[in-house]
Structure 1
Amino acid sequence: MKYKQINNLLFVQNRSNFIKRLKTNAIAIFQSNDEFPRSGDQNFLFKQNADLFYLSGIDQEQSILLLYPNCPNPLYREVLFLRQTNDHIRVWEGHKYTKEQANIVSGIKTVYWLSDFEQILHSVIHYADHIYLNSNENDRYAHTVTYRDIRFINQLKEKYPLHHYERAAPIMRDLRVIKSDTEVELTQKACNITKDAFNRVLKFVKPGISEYEIEAEIIHEFIKQRATGHGYTPIIASGNNANILHYVDNNQICNDGDLILMDFGAEYANYNADLTRTIPVNGKFSRRQKDVYNAVLNVLNEAKKIMVDGALWNTYHEQVGEIMTEELIKLKLISITDVKNQPKSQPAYKKYFMHGTSHHLGIDVHDLASRYTPFAAGNILTCEPGIYIPEEGFGIRLENDILITKDGNIDLMANIPIIAEEIEELMNA
């Protein structure tokens, strides 16, 4: 791994918290993600299953975690199964965990090779009453591919049809949304790397460069600082491209007088940053651009104030919509008449601000969380209002990552330039 080893107390505590939520005499099994084919004889870069990583710290393909706290044989109460390495694998693929290294990373004492999994599972599963299995229950995900978790669920139910099967995902959804101090530190590290990439871009951008050249500057800084890479496909959208919310072509020339909307974030130790900034190609906002920019910034600053412990998801977004409505009226993009006549299902502001303001952030960029649970201390959420004006040829979005605490929220990106005049000064230094 590029990143520095994480103190295994994080994973020990995560497992302890998970086990406390299990029914009596239950076994839980977590699988690593599939290795997905890219082309011919190549796979995509492996990305670990978020829940397996959360509970073990193991960042390697073909791994299984078995938790059975009431197992009559104490040896099998916490077991990690790994792909067995050998000289051939070492030569062709490089480092894989030894049993000793896996113990240090995870804090799990009992480590076996994957070839022992079926026999060990069969020897203990009959003594369990409940079996907790995992699947992707992120409500932003639409299930179209039969991945490893689903295949394993089907296999296990065929072999052991009379057990009581339970869902691990609801427990993980409750646990992962509250970040520990270590998780906050890892997220802050990702944010700091992202900050350095943005500052690098500010010194680089000028009329005539291409969007992909900016993307190259960003990944250079990420890898230089031991990030795994991008937390998600970066958006480098100049001019009217900014009005395509998920624009990822990043292949156009940045023209004098245009703005560039950049949405990117580093992934460090599987934890993610998520930043958006909009800057002028020539280093100077026009009067109109700056007015819209400051309107978006005001919405962001006001939204952060109401993003507090106990706030309700829908109420929060409705309040942000009201703030945005006031700004759009000032900009003469909508009128008071538009607001009076708006249907409840489609507020007038949605014409220029059509997406949500926030999402949870963590091991997944759109982290596993319930939209029906109030915000709580320990949540990390994005705050990302935007105004998109196709008829004027530009769009502006600003985004920071916010940690909610009992004493108010903490902006993890407070040290990243965002004031329009500061950006102009840095670009022209």
Structure 2
Amino acid sequence: MKYLPVNNEVFTYNRKNFVSRLKPCSIAIFNANDEFPRNGDQTFIYKQNPDFFYLTGIDQEQSVLILYPDCPNPLYREVLFLRQTNEHIAIWEGHKYTKEEARTASGIDNIYWLNDFDAILHTIINYAEHIYINTNENDRYSHTVPYRDIRLLDTLRTKYPLHKYERSALIMRDLRVVKSPIEIDLTKKACEITRDAFVRVLKFVKPGITEYEIEAEITHEFLRQRATGHAYSPIIASGKNAIVLHYIDNNQVCKDGDVVLFDFGAEYANYNADMSRSIPVSRRFTKRQRNVYDAVLRVMRAATKMIVAGAVLNEYQDEVGKIMTDELIGLGLLDKHDVAKQDPKMPLYKKYFMHGTSHHLGLDVHDFASRYKAFEVGNILTCEPGIYIAEEGLGIRIENDVLITANGNIDLMEDIPVEAEHIEEIMNS
């Protein structure tokens, strides 16, 4: 791993919280993510299952965690299984965790090699009544290929058909959304790296630069500061490309007079930043670009104030929509008389602002959370309003990451340039 070691207290704390919510006489099993083939002799860069990392801190494939707090044999109440390395693996793939390294990373004392998993599981699982399996229940995801946990569930149901099977996801959805101090610090680190990459880009962009050259500058800064890489495929969208919300081709020339919409974030120790900015290629906004930019910024600042404990996502989005509607009227994009007659279920502002304002952020960029549960202290949410004017080839989005605390909220990106004057000043320095 490129990132520095993470204090294992956070993983010990997470496991303690998880097992406290299990039914009596329960065993929970968590798998590392699958490896996916890229070609005949290579896999894609490995990305750990976020739930598995949340509970273990282990960033390695072919790993399994068992949590069984009521196990009659104390040795197996908390067990981590790892792929055993050998000379061949060391030569072709490099270093793998030793048992001692895994203890240090995870805080788990009982470490075994993966080839012991079936035998150990069989000696203890019949003493359990409930078996918790970790299915992916993020409502933005729909799987078409059975992953490791699903395959394990099929196997266990065949071997142990009379056990009661439970869903770990119900617990994980409540736990992961509330960030501990160490998780907040890791997110702040990702935000700091993202800030430095953005400032680097501000000094780099000029007419004639390509979108992929800008992406290269961002990637350079991320890796230079120990980030794992990009939290998601970066959006470097100049001119009319900014109208495409998930534009990732990044292959066009940035032209004089255009605005470039950025949406990128660093991943550090599996925790993510998510930032959007829009800057003028010519290093000065035109009057129209500036008016649209300032309108988006006003919406973002108003929306940020509403990200507090007790707010409900749908109600919050409706209020942001009202603010955006006023701004769109001021820009001449909507008519107030048409707005007065609009269908409330299909508000007119969605023609120019068609996505949500906020989502939870953490180990997943769109973090695992309930869209129906009120915001809580410890939540980190994005705030990302935008205005997209297809007929003008202009798209503006501004996005920061916001932490909810007991005393209000904290903008984790408040030190990243956002005022138009500040952006122009850096670009022309």
Does TM, scored on the shorter chain, surpass 0.5?
Answer: yes
- The 5-angstrom pairing of residues 308-347 of structure 1 reads 308-347=308-347
Q: For residues 316 and 144 of structure 2, what CA distance do their matches in structure 1 show?
A: 32
Match of 1:81 in 2: 81
TM-score, length-scaled by structure 2: 0.99
- The 5-angstrom pairing of residues 241-252 of structure 1 reads 241-252=241-252
Q: Secondary structure at the match of 1:112?
A: strand
Match of 2:35 in 1: 35
Displacement of 1:420: 0.2
Q: Secondary structure at the match of 1:121?
A: helix
Q: For residues 281 and 58 of structure 1, what CA distance do their matches in structure 2 show?
A: 42
Do residues 184 (structure 1) and 187 (structure 2) align?
A: no
Match of 2:398 in 1: 398
Moved more, 88-97 or 412-421: 88-97
Mark the runs of 5 or more structure 1 residues left unpaired by the alignment: none
Displacement of 1:346: 1.1
TM-score, length-scaled by structure 1: 0.99
Q: For residues 37 and 343 of structure 2, what CA distance do their matches in structure 1 show?
A: 47
Letter in 1 for 2:286: S
Q: What CA deviation, in whole Å up to 9, does each residue of 1:209-247 have, x standing for no partner?
A: 100000000000000000000000000000000000000
Mark the runs of 5 or more structure 2 residues left unpaired by the alignment: none
Letter in 2 for 1:344: P
* Identity rate, percent: 68
Q: For residues 347 and 268 of structure 1, what CA distance do their matches in structure 2 show?
A: 38
Match of 1:265 in 2: 265
Q: Secondary structure at the match of 2:146?
A: coil
Match of 1:303 in 2: 303
Letter in 2 for 1:117: F
Do residues 67 (structure 1) and 67 (structure 2) align?
A: yes
Q: For residues 85 and 166 of structure 2, what CA distance do their matches in structure 1 show?
A: 33
Letter in 1 for 2:252: Q
Q: Once superposed, what is the RMSD of the aligned Cα atoms?
A: 0.5
Do residues 169 (structure 1) and 169 (structure 2) align?
A: yes
Q: Secondary structure at the match of 2:357?
A: coil
- The 5-angstrom pairing of residues 268-283 of structure 1 reads 268-283=268-283
Q: For residues 151 and 111 of structure 2, what CA distance do their matches in structure 1 show?
A: 24
Q: For residues 205 and 145 of structure 1, what CA distance do their matches in structure 2 show?
A: 41
Letter in 2 for 1:29: I
Q: For residues 211 and 158 of structure 1, what CA distance do their matches in structure 2 show?
A: 52
Displacement of 1:42: 1.4
Runs of 4+ in 1 over 6 A off after TM superposition: none
Match of 2:107 in 1: 107
Letter in 2 for 1:68: Y
Q: For residues 122 and 147 of structure 1, what CA distance do their matches in structure 2 show?
A: 22
Q: For residues 77 and 306 of structure 1, what CA distance do their matches in structure 2 show?
A: 43
Q: Secondary structure at the match of 1:59?
A: coil
Moved more, 335-344 or 71-80: 335-344
Q: Secondary structure at the match of 2:203?
A: helix
Displacement of 1:142: 1.5
Do residues 220 (structure 1) and 217 (structure 2) align?
A: no
Displacement of 1:38: 1.2
Displacement of 1:99: 0.5
Letter in 1 for 2:398: L
Q: What CA deviation, in whole Å up to 9, does each residue of 1:179-230 have, x standing for no partner?
A: 0000000000000000000000000000001000000000000000000000
Letter in 1 for 2:205: V
Q: For residues 47 and 176 of structure 2, what CA distance do their matches in structure 1 show?
A: 18
Letter in 2 for 1:320: V
Q: For residues 152 and 239 of structure 1, what CA distance do their matches in structure 2 show?
A: 48
Match of 1:17 in 2: 17
Letter in 1 for 2:30: F
Q: For residues 342 and 84 of structure 2, what CA distance do their matches in structure 1 show?
A: 62
Q: For residues 121 and 88 of structure 1, what CA distance do their matches in structure 2 show?
A: 28
Q: What CA deviation, in whole Å up to 9, does each residue of 1:29-50 have, x standing for no partner?
A: 0000000111222111000000
Do residues 155 (structure 1) and 149 (structure 2) align?
A: no
Moved more, 330-339 or 221-230: 330-339
Displacement of 1:144: 1.5
Displacement of 1:101: 0.5
